[in-house]
Structure 1
Amino acid sequence: MEHPLLFDGPDAALERLRALCLAFPEAVEVLAWGRPTFRAGKKIFVTVGASMDRPHSMVFKPDPEERRALVQDARFFIPPYFGPAGWLAIDFDTPRADWVELAELVETSYRQVALKRQLAQLDRWRAPGAPEGSK
């Protein structure tokens, strides 16, 4: 069964999220289930679109300790399929969207699935004194 595309044209909010996700070491975008997924190697760290009704939602894997607090915040919801494994989702194309917070959630999700070498590379980039954008 072929899934319908969630996005079939340019979308500014998706482009902004894409830029966040692809900034991580070895991050790639793969179309799956008709929607963009972002992966650290083969493991998904962000899926766009929790459902066809919420295309501008970001499904991510939170830190288990932070998850308890996030589910108390009405902006977050448990997405279908991914939810039972501890994943959460948040809408990213709203006037209240906090892109600094979204970037932190993306990084946390990446860190949950990335390989040790990818994490080491990320930490080198984040180290004080490291040149900006020193991929």
Structure 2
Amino acid sequence: MTEPADVPPAVLDRLRPICLGLPESYEEPAWVGTRWRIRRRTFAHVLTVDPDHQVAHARAADVDRPACLLIFRSPPDEIAGLVASGHPFYKPEWGPTVLGMVVADDTDWDEVGELLTESYCLLAPKRLAALVDRPGPPPD
């Protein structure tokens, strides 16, 4: 029997190489679900919400049945564009740089990798962020 916050193993298998591939990152259990941190800052948190138990998360993601959610950080200008694109993205109310997405069968894992790398770089010390290979804008 699984608990409401249990994350499907297949989702964790996709997230671990992304998150643990970043310098000095580590994984730990969160209050529910699993989180990845750089130093003491959480740059990714995944959990399965049940609308009857994690009401704030379910309301923010606009889900009325259990759903797997990924919460991370993003620059405010990128948040606006992602939220405007609609599902699977949503904007929780608990921080100006916090963004969430519903993880489903059609999740674009390449995009998740880019988003979590950006989240990490926003929170990591500059020395560590500089070690990360990030895709840049196309050359002119």
Q: Which residue among 18, 21, 32 is the counterpart of 2:19?
A: 21
Q: Which residue among 73, 85, 98 is the counterpart of 1:73?
A: 85
Partner of 1:90: 101
In the TM superposition, residue 68 of structure 1 has moved relative to its aligned partner by 1.0
Coordinate RMSD, CA, aligned = 2.3
Q: What pairs with 1:1-135 in structure 2 (closer than 5 Å)?
A: 6-7=5-6, 11-49=9-47, 51-53=49-51, 54-75=66-87, 76-79=89-92, 83-86=93-96, 87-94=98-105, 96-123=106-133
Contact 1:39 1:45 in 2 (8 A): yes
Give the length in aligned residue pairs.
117
Distance in 2 between residues matched to 1:48 and 1:69, nearest whole Å: 22
Query: Unaligned stretches of 5+ in structure 1?
Result: 128-135
In the TM superposition, residue 51 of structure 1 has moved relative to its aligned partner by 3.1
Structure-2-length-normalised TM-score:
0.72
Query: Unaligned stretches of 5+ in structure 2?
Result: 52-65, 136-140
Contact 1:13 1:93 in 2 (8 A): no
Distance in 1 between residues matched to 2:128 and 2:100, nearest whole Å: 24
The worse-fitting range, judged by mean Cα deviation, of 11-20 and 47-56 is: 47-56
The alignment-based identity, stated in percent, is: 32
